[in-house]
Amino acid sequence: MQYVSTRGHAATPSFSEILLGGLAPDGGLYLPAQYPQVSGAELDQWRKLSYADLAFEVLRKFATDIPEADLKALAHKTYTADVYRNTRAGEHAAEITPLRTLEEQGGKKLVLQSLSNGPTLAFKDMAMQLLGNLFEYALAKQGAELNIVGATSGDTGSAAEYAMRGKKGIRVFMLSPHKKMSAFQTAQMFSLQDPNIFNLAIEGVFDDCQDIVKAISNDLEYKAAKKIGTVNSINWARVVAQVVYYFRGYLAATTSNEQKVSFTVPSGNFGNICAGHIARMMGLPIDKLVVATNENDVLDEFFRTGIYRVRKSAETYHTSSPSMDISKASNFERFVYDLLGRDSARVKDLFHKVETAGGFDLSGQAGSDGNEFTSVIQYGFASGRSTHADRLETIRFAEKTYGITVDTHTADGIKVAREHLTPGVTMIVLETALPAKFNETIREALGRDADRPAGFENIEALPQRFEVMPADAARVKAYVAQHTGL
């Protein structure tokens, strides 16, 4: 398996070569030169597998340069009932990502796939725990070290830090928007006292944090000298790990490969649903991939109109589903690359236009940059939007109708999913976090606190360790250099 950059860089590196990096040298994102295909016979065989064994089967198609025995051991080390133990009542930890039927009537079926049973109570653990083990494995092989610089709107940061804490040869520098995460999310990150974890609270919004990470990744000399890597969803290994639970969800929801399912995915940075796109390109029988956004509806606008219009920091809303308060979806480039027939020169031009003019237009209208929006339907994409009022209403509806409490982002997903139900096609909503992470809104919706798993009872009261810093890439680079000694 060889990889290519969405912007046409000539080299075709292996999985292990791109694992420890982030962006390609030309600023593009890595994708397989060709998507591996999954046959019906393989799907039949995979129905019987444990999550760890399924992860191995998917990963071996992409990480062909890692010995299979080692890859299998890493999958089994990662996906255990002990790591993914924060299950709801009636769920089994051994299933890792159990399904729960929410409603079924008139041939329409709505199902929730639990992805938040890991140590930080968010779906990011599904990939990040594997990434931590892959990093440690690769660094040990090379006798090397890695300084991870990442950006988070809430959940990526804690998932990365919990996965990397104490790992030999790894330091984590995590940028987050100052005072724009929930109290629980903030405490999860800032209360960590491990010496290899550094939290930087950036005065700005998530997109400012993400821009700094990209600026550092694009400074190739600095990146090499300071041994910089990334855990954001631009990291290909993270996307691959997320592909696994789409296969798991499909196989658990169906009895035959003749059946199709759809997925609704709360989305801000397009990483999670990009994994669904890749699963579909591999041959998984997915009908629709529904993007659910909050008030920051850049992606919904594109999938309705063909216009990708990035918002400025001042135009980015601070919402009650803060992990999706994103107006520049860094993984979107991977889908656009496929949408444009893998024309890397056009991709490079369009994303240069994003940086200089704030977006591009594929609607086919007069003066547009192309007409590829007409092809979006071939890839199964649809979208919808949810507001704070919708969120409160859906949380109350889920409590009353389904007997469960859902977090704000999952509520966005349920609201949009119910608008796209199709008779005969099971709709799976990907849960993104447990409600305890967004207790302020749960209390507003239900008049009570969300339940908390054991060990998180008083997390907000723990001492916090972080640095406040302006949205300045040079300041962040100097801080990283100072604390790595490189």
pLDDT value, residue 171: 95
Q: What is the band of 433 on the pLDDT scale with cuts at 50, 70, 90?
A: very high
Enter the pTM of the model: 0.94
User: What is the average pLDDT across 61-71?
Assistant: 97
Residue showing tokens 């020169």:
345
Phi-psi region of 470 (alpha: psi -120 to 50; beta: other; left: phi over 0): beta
* Residue-wise burial string across 266-277, b where 16 or more C-beta atoms lie within 10 A, e elsewhere: bbbbbbbbbbbb
pLDDT value, residue 212: 95
List all residues 6 or more positions away from 410 whose beta carbon is below 8 Å from its beta carbon.
Answer: 112, 266, 429, 431, 432, 433
User: What is the average pLDDT across 62-71?
Assistant: 97
User: What is the average pLDDT across 388-417?
Assistant: 98
Catalytically annotated residue among 48, 61, 109, 124 = 124
Residue showing tokens 């992805």:
115
Return the CATH class of domain 94-120+237-446.
Answer: alpha beta
Q: What is the band of 256 on the pLDDT scale with cuts at 50, 70, 90?
A: very high
Do residues 265 and 430 lie in contact, with contact meaning Cβ atoms separated by under 8 Å? Answer: yes
Q: Which two tokens stand for residue 203?
A: 């005065």
User: What is the average pLDDT across 31-43?
Assistant: 97
Q: What is the band of 88 on the pLDDT scale with cuts at 50, 70, 90?
A: confident
pLDDT value, residue 457: 87
Pick the residue with more confidence: 452 or 389? 389
pLDDT value, residue 154: 80
pLDDT value, residue 318: 93
SS (H, E, C) 206-274: HHHHHHHHHHHHHCHHHHHHCCEECCCCCCHHHHHHHHHHHHHHHHHHCCCCCCCEEEEEECCCCHHHH
pLDDT at 449 over 80: yes
Do residues 413 and 459 lie in contact, with contact meaning Cβ atoms separated by under 8 Å? Answer: no
**CA 294/CA 467 separation, integer angstroms:** 29
User: How large a percentage of the chain has pLDDT more than 70?
Assistant: 100
pLDDT at 86 over 90: no
pLDDT at 22 over 90: no
Do residues 131 and 163 lie in contact, with contact meaning Cβ atoms separated by under 8 Å? Answer: yes
pLDDT value, residue 364: 96
User: What is the average pLDDT across 318-325?
Assistant: 93
Q: What is the band of 20 on the pLDDT scale with cuts at 50, 70, 90?
A: confident
Residue showing tokens 């062909």:
64
| Predicted confidence (pLDDT) per residue in 201-237, tens digit | 999 999 999 999 989 988 989 999 999 988 877 889 9
pLDDT at 378 over 80: yes
Task: Order the strands of the 467-470 sheet from edge to edge.
Answer: 228-229, 146-151, 170-177, 197-203, 467-470
User: Quick check: is 167 catalytic?
Assistant: no
Do residues 287 and 262 lie in contact, with contact meaning Cβ atoms separated by under 8 Å? Answer: yes
pLDDT value, residue 142: 87
pLDDT value, residue 338: 98
pLDDT value, residue 485: 75
